[in-house]
Chains A and B, each alone.
Chain A
Amino acid sequence: MELDNLYQEVILDHYKRPQNKKLATIFDAQVHHVNPSCGDEIDLNLLIKNEVVTSITWDGVGCSISQASVSILTDLLIGKSITEAYAIHDNFVTLMQSKGAFSGDESVLEDAIAFAGVSKYPARIKCALLGWMAFKDASVQAQANLN
C-alpha cells in the first residue's frame, strides 16, 4: 500500500517506543518548538561537551511522524561531533525539501532514511522537521552560551 512508504516500520517502532524521551536536568540549551498548523509540540534539551553532542533529551506530543523523527534524531546524533551532526542535519533537511527527487544518503542518515517517503506528502514535511529545527535552534543557543 502507498501509505507504507510514509509509515515505515522504523517510524512506527520509534513512535511506539520513543528514545530519550525524558528531559534531562543537565543541559546547555533548552528549546520549545510548536507546529502552529497542527499543534504538535516538543521540548528539547541539549548538552554539548568538547564539541560533541553529549545528550539530547526531549518530551512532546504529536503525530507519529513528528515524534518518531525526533526520537530517531536523538539516536543518530548523540555521540557525534557538532560538525558531523550539522552535516547529517543538512542532509535530512535537503531530503525533506526534495519533493521525492532526492532519495537521501543512507550512509549518512541511517534510520532517518525512513523519512524519504514523507517528502512526497507536503503537509507532513513540517512534522518530520519539527525535532530537527528544534535541535538546530538548541545547538546554536548552546554554542552561543559556551562562547
Chain B
Amino acid sequence: MTLDPSVIRKDFPIFDRTIRDGKKLVYLDSGATSQKPNFVIDAESDFYRNHNAAAHRGAHQLAEEATGAIESARVVVANFLGGAIDEIVFTKSSTEALNLLAYSIGNASAGNLFHLQPGDEIVVSEMEHHANLIPWQQLAKRTGAVLKWFEVNDSGRLDLSNIESVITERTKIVALTHQSNVLGTIVPLAEIAKRTHEVGAFFILDACQSVPHMPVNVKALDIDFLVFSGHKTVGPTGIGVLWGRANLLNHLPPFLFGGSMIETVTMTDATWAPAPRKFEAGVPNMAQIVGLGAALNYLSEIGMENIHQHEIALTKYTLDKLQEIDQLRIVGPTDTNSRGSAISFTLGQIHPHDLGQYLDSAGIAVRTGHHCAWPLTRKMGVPATTRASLYLYNDESDIDALVAATLDAQKYFA
C-alpha cells in the first residue's frame, strides 16, 4: 500500500489554517515536533471530558476508568515496540527518560549491576542530541567515569574503524542515537550492540528520530534500553517512553521518589514497587498517555513500513532537488542508504537564520541553528544549518515549495 499524504493531511486540523497572511502551511519541521491528527486530539480531550481521575488511586468508577485507559495505552506501546507490558515506563519526554537512566545508574551502589566507579567508561558519539550527551557527560563527572565517543566522518557517518578501542573491557554504558536529528544518518546498530555485549556493557538507544519514522522492534535490535518522545510520533507533548529489559529494570534503582512508586513506607525507610511503577512517581500525565496510545494506533493503522517507504522516496526526491541548487551543500549523507528524512544544508554565505526567516515568509516551516547538537555542527565545520525534516503528511509539492523559496531567497540576499 502506498500512502497518500493529501488524504493524511485531512486528519491533521492544523493544515486547515494559513501562515503569514494567507499562505499555505508547508510544515518541514517534524524532526522538532510532529503535527497532531484529530484522532489524538480527540482521545486526549475525551479523557479529560469523560474519564478524568487519578489513575491507580481511588476506589471509584472514574479512577478505574482512568487506570484502564493508561494501562491499555501501555499495552499499545508494548505492542508497537515489540516489548513486554511491564517493560514500558512512562516519562514526560525522552529527555527525562535519558536523565532517569543517568540518575538511576548514578544511584546504583556497590554490588549493583549498574554501579559505576572511577575508570569505568561511558561511550556516546559526536552526533548525539544534547539530551543524549549531557546526562552522560555529567554522570561521568559525578562518578569519575570516563566519557568516550565515536567520531563522525565527513560524509556524516559514524567512524567505527576503532570500535575495539572505543568500546573496551572498561565500558559500562554505550548510549547512541538511532538516527541523527541533524544529519539523518541511521546508525548501524548490530555491530555496535554486539561489541557492547561482548564486553558486558549496556546498550541505550535514543530512538527519538527512528520510532516515529520506521518499524522499530526492541527484540530484533539486541539493545537494553530505548527512549522516544510522544510529541514526535504525532502524539501529545509531555509524554515520553523508556523501554528496558525486564531483568535490567528490576536491578535499576529508582530516580524520582514519591507517590505510587513504593511498596512500603515507614518514617525512616521505603521499598519500591516493581517496574514499571518504581519509575513512575506521582500522578502520571494521564491524558497524554492516552493520547500517545491513540497516536501509535493511528500510525500502526497506516503502517510503519508504509511511512518508512514514503519517507525514503521523498528524501531521495528532496536530496536530488536540493542538490541542483547552486551553492547548496547537504550536511550529512547524500544518498538514502541508511538515512532518514532529516535533511540539513547550508546555502553559500546566507545564514540559516536568514534563510529560515525568508522561508517562513513563504509559509514554509524549517528549523535553523545547531539543532541541540552543538558539538556535531562544530565538527561538520558549520556554525549552523537549515534543516527540513519530513513526515507522513509531506509530499513533493512541499519540497517544490521549499526549492522555489530557497532560490528566491538567494536572489533576495544576493
Interface residues of A (CB under 8 A from B): 1-3, 6-7, 12, 37-41, 61-65, 121, 124, 127
Contact = CB atoms under 8 A, between A and B. Distances in A.
Given A61-B383, A64-B351, A38 B368 contact: yes
A69 to B, nearest CB: 13
B383 A3 contact: no
9 contacts: A1-B361, A3-B357, A3-B358, A6-B357, A37-B369, A38-B353, A39-B370, A39-B377, A41-B383
Interface string B366-388: 00111000100100000110000
Counting chain B residues whose Cβ lies within 8 A of the other chain, the interface size class is: 10 to 19
A16 B349 CA distance: 10
Given A2-B361, A3-B357, A3-B361, A39 B374 contact: yes
The 7 residue pairs across chains A and B that have the minimum distance between CB atoms:
A63-B353, A63-B351, A38-B369, A3-B361, A39-B370, A61-B383, A39-B384
Nearest to B409: A3
B48 interface: no
A2 B358 CA distance: 10
B400 interface: no
A127 B368 CA distance: 13
Contacts of A38: 353, 368-370, 384
Given A1-B361, A62-B353, A39 B21 contact: no
B369 A62 contact: no
A64 B354 contact: yes
B20 interface: yes
Given A62-B353, A124-B357, 9 more contacts: A2-B361, A3-B358, A6-B357, A38-B368, A38-B370, A39-B369, A39-B370, A39-B384, A65-B354
A64 B352 CA distance: 10
A37 B372 CA distance: 8
Contacts of A121: 357
A63 B384 CA distance: 10
Nearest to A62: B351
Contacts of B20: 2
Nearest to B385: A39
A38 B358 CA distance: 16
B385 to A, nearest CB: 10
Given A12-B413, A39-B383, A63 B354 contact: yes
Contacts of B369: 37-39
A21 to B, nearest CB: 15
Nearest to B353: A63
A124 to B, nearest CB: 7
B400 to A, nearest CB: 21
A124 B351 CA distance: 13
Nearest to B362: A3
A25 B357 CA distance: 36
Contacts of B354: 7, 63-65
A129 to B, nearest CB: 14
Most chain A CB within 10 A, of B353, B369, B374, B383, is at B353
Contacts of B358: 3
B353 A127 contact: yes
A40 B356 CA distance: 15
A1 B413 CA distance: 14
A30 B111 CA distance: 51
A13 B377 CA distance: 28
A61 B413 CA distance: 17
A60 to B, nearest CB: 10
A31 B283 CA distance: 46
A52 to B, nearest CB: 33
B361 A65 contact: no
A61 B351 CA distance: 9
Contact of A65 (B352, B353, B384, B412): B353
A127 B354 CA distance: 11
Contacts of A61: 383
Contacts of B357: 3, 6, 121, 124
Contacts of B384: 38-39
Nearest to A1: B361
B105 to A, nearest CB: 27
B157 to A, nearest CB: 23
A42 B349 CA distance: 17
B331 to A, nearest CB: 14
